[in-house]
Amino acid sequence: MRLDDEQESSNFEIQRGGGMGRGFGGGGGGGNLLGLLLPLIGSKFGCWGIAIVVVLMLVMGGGGGLGSLLGGLTGGGTSMSPQQQTQQADPGELTDIQRISLKVLGSTERRWEDIFAANGSQYPAPTLVFYDRNGMSGCGAAQSAMGPFYCPADQKIYIDTTFFNDMKNKMGIPGDFPIGYVIAHEVGHHIQTITGTANKVRQAQQRASQEEGNALQVRMELQADCYAGVWAARDTNLMEPGDMEEGLRAAHQIGDDTLMKAAGRRPVESMFTHGSAEQRMAWLKRGLQTGNPASCDTFSQDL
Ligand SMILES: [Zn+2]
């Protein structure tokens, strides 16, 4: 991914003072719960949560900590600690990975500004929030295990600062293009929010069965994947040889079936909330090949 010419976005915040909360140690017997909890985790933890929970479970030898992890999330005490505050950071303090993230965000801003302008409207850019282990979002507590997520209520993207290292070292997703893919996917959810798609889907989900609701969620996620591809396709300097393969490999690794298999489960399609490896790869590729958001209508096409 070539980002040398990209200007870093200034739409970011840094939350400090996290890391006071519970660890993931202790607990027990959570492994058996995984099958029951995967859908819940999917909805509660956002896009990358399942991947991280599966990784945590593998790292902890079968998931000893899942019970306490969920206990921590559903229990009280998730409010922002008194010391925790959001600050505008001195750009000199940013880490390399934060700088890369902000270049990607800046690039998404310019691409989506163009697309919105072509339709005679203005693009309201989202804010990227870096937090450290325990943060607070307009959608409730932000915790590392949730992975990067977009909160529609405050139109901000939340990323734990260690996520990208984990993605490489623990989830086996190498390369730098996946960083762009992750951020551009969250920006995709922002697009769905400001265009009203997310709202319509949420309303439909309220009337739907669990299974139908999951199927709608899959269409949302695949559309965000496609939008990520649209961004990459329209930044003509961005893609280097191998980037497409890196992105597709990442999309494969976070497919619901891949993750369920990694957790020792038989993949069950009705429980998917993000799409299969094959679907995620296909829709990312669709965006990459067309560069046109209109090609990302996952709601009226076969997946
Ligand atoms: Zn998502």
Residue found by looking up tokens 């019970």 in the block: 67
Task: Give yes or no for a contact between 238 and 295, defined as CB atoms under 8 angstroms apart.
Answer: no
Element containing residue 160 per DSSP (H, E) = strand 156-160
CA of 155 to the centre of ligand 1 (A): 14
CA distance 77 to 215: 33
CA of 221 to the centre of ligand 1 (A): 5
CA of 213 to the centre of ligand 1 (A): 15
CA of 186 to the centre of ligand 1 (A): 6
Report if pTM > 0.85: no
CA of 42 to the centre of ligand 1 (A): 10
CA of 274 to the centre of ligand 1 (A): 7
CA of 13 to the centre of ligand 1 (A): 21
pLDDT at 57: 65
pLDDT at 27: 36
CA of 90 to the centre of ligand 1 (A): 29
147 sits in the region (left: phi over 0; alpha: psi -120 to 50; else beta) called left
CA of 58 to the centre of ligand 1 (A): 22
pLDDT at 268: 86
CA of 92 to the centre of ligand 1 (A): 30
Chunked into runs of 10 residues, the chain (303 residues) has average pLDDT values of 93 77 37 50 61 65 42 38 56 87 97 97 97 91 87 95 86 89 96 97 95 94 96 92 90 87 86 90 96 97 88
pLDDT at 43: 53
pLDDT at 177: 92
Alpha helices in the chain (DSSP H): 34-45, 49-59, 66-74, 96-118, 163-169, 177-194, 197-207, 210-234, 243-253, 256-262, 277-290
CA of 82 to the centre of ligand 1 (A): 30
pLDDT at 16: 83
CA of 1 to the centre of ligand 1 (A): 21
CA distance 284 to 228: 7
Instruction: Residue 124: count other Cβ atoms within 10 Å of its Cβ.
Output: 12
CA of 232 to the centre of ligand 1 (A): 17
